[in-house]
């Protein structure tokens, strides 16, 4: 496992895509913050924080997970995955290494983009209207969403390696996002929809609001992490049975 982690980390940091993702996401953060701070008047601290929150839950997972799917798919398309299995690495270890490296990749991008943006907001915007507790809860849910989305994406990369997997990932993201947004209005009291929204990363978006304290955030985090664990278990099961060419 240690060997695989070292191998995957080294390959990740040597990949141009990693730096493009990091630079691209951070640049979009700065750009959006600049525009939202320019026209928000006295409450611009809250406005830029809301912008940052939206970007953290929508942009970071979508871009980082998409890029990481390419990273995993490369091993399948080039056949390099064979080199790991031929020399005796267990499939469970290979999958877990992908998961750990993927999560660290997401955390690095989130830490750099969200972290540096937060520092800029703290320095240049009035944040007196914001509650530290609400921001911490929002950050917790955003982190949980990143974890569950990453685990979901790695599962898809293994089930459908390559472009097919990425396409399905994006279609699934938009379809589920639409579903939960519509359901929020049409079935606000449905307990099943509420539970699903807390589990799926696309549903967790609807549970996040920096202006007011979300309902039972601990339950959202718990469901999100449970969903991530389920994706990992399912992914390992699929990968262990999968015939490779």
Partner 1 sequence: MEFVLTTEGLRKTYKNFNALNGLSMHVPKGAIYGFVGKNGAGKTTLIRLACGLQFPTDGGLTLYGAKHTDVAIHEARKRIGAVVETPSIFPMMTAEDNLKHQYRVLGLPNYDGIKELLALVGLANTGKKKAEQFSLGMRQRLGIAIALCGHPDFMILDEPINGLDPQGIVDIRELILKLNREQGITILISSHILDELSRIATHYGFIDRGRIVREMSAEELTNACRKCVSVRVTDVDALVRELERRGTDYTVTGTDSVDIYAQPNITELALALWKEKCEILTCREQDENLEGFFLSLVGGESHA
- Residues in the site for partner 1, rule: CB under 8 A? 2-4, 6-7, 10-11, 14, 74, 78-90, 241, 243-245
Token pair, residue 52, equals 């940052």
Nearer to partner 1, 69 or 137 (CB): 69
Token pair, residue 61, equals 């997972």
Nearer to partner 1, 102 or 224 (CB): 102
- What is the nearest approach in angstroms of partner 1 to the Cβ of residue 104? 17
Residue 17's contacts (CB-CB under 8 Å, 6 or more residues apart) are 67, 70, 71
DSSP class per residue in 19-48? HHHHHHHHHHHHHHHHHHHHT-GGGHHHHH
Handedness of CA 143, 66, 152, 73 (dihedral sign): negative
DSSP symbol at 79 = S
Residues 229, 154: contact at Cβ < 8 Å? no
Residues 120, 33: contact at Cβ < 8 Å? yes
- What is the nearest approach in angstroms of partner 1 to the Cβ of residue 158? 14
- What is the nearest approach in angstroms of partner 1 to the Cβ of residue 69? 16
Nearer to partner 1, 96 or 219 (CB): 96
Candidates 36, 56, 55; CA nearest to 46 is 36
Nearer to partner 1, 1 or 233 (CB): 1
- What is the nearest approach in angstroms of partner 1 to the Cβ of residue 73? 12
Q: Helix 163-186 and helix 132-159: axis angle, to 10°?
A: 140
- What is the nearest approach in angstroms of partner 1 to the Cβ of residue 156? 21
Nearer to partner 1, 83 or 190 (CB): 83
Nearer to partner 1, 171 or 244 (CB): 244
- What is the nearest approach in angstroms of partner 1 to the Cβ of residue 133? 44
């Amino acid at each position: 496992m240690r060997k695989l982690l070292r191998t995957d980390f080294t390959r990740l940091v040597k990949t141009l895509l990693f730096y493009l993702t990091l630079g691209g996401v951070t640049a979009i953060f700065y750009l959006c913050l600049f525009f939202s701070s320019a026209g928000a008047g006295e409450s611009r601290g809250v406005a830029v924080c809301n912008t940052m929150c939206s970007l953290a839950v929508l942009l970071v997972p979508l871009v980082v997970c998409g890029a990481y799917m390419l990273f995993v798919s490369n091993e399948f398309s080039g056949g390099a995955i064979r080199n790991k299995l031929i020399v005796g690495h267990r499939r469970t270890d290979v999958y877990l290494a992908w998961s750990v490296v993927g999560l660290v990749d997401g955390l690095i991008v989130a830490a750099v983009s969200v972290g540096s943006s937060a520092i800029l907001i703290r320095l240049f915007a009035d944040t007196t209207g914001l509650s530290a507790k609400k921001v911490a809860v929002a950050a917790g849910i955003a982190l949980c969403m990143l974890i569950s989305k990453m685990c979901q994406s790695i599962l898809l990369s293994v089930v459908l390696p390559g472009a097919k997997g990425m396409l399905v990932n994006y279609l699934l993201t938009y379809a589920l996002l639409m579903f939960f947004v519509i359901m929020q209005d049409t079935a606000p009291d449905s307990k099943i929809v509420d539970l699903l929204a807390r589990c799926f990363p696309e549903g967790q978006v609807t549970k996040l609001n920096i202006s007011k304290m979300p309902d039972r955030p601990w339950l959202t985090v718990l469901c999100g992490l449970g969903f991530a664990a389920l994706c990992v278990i399912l992914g390992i099961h699929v990968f262990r049975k999968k015939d490779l060419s």
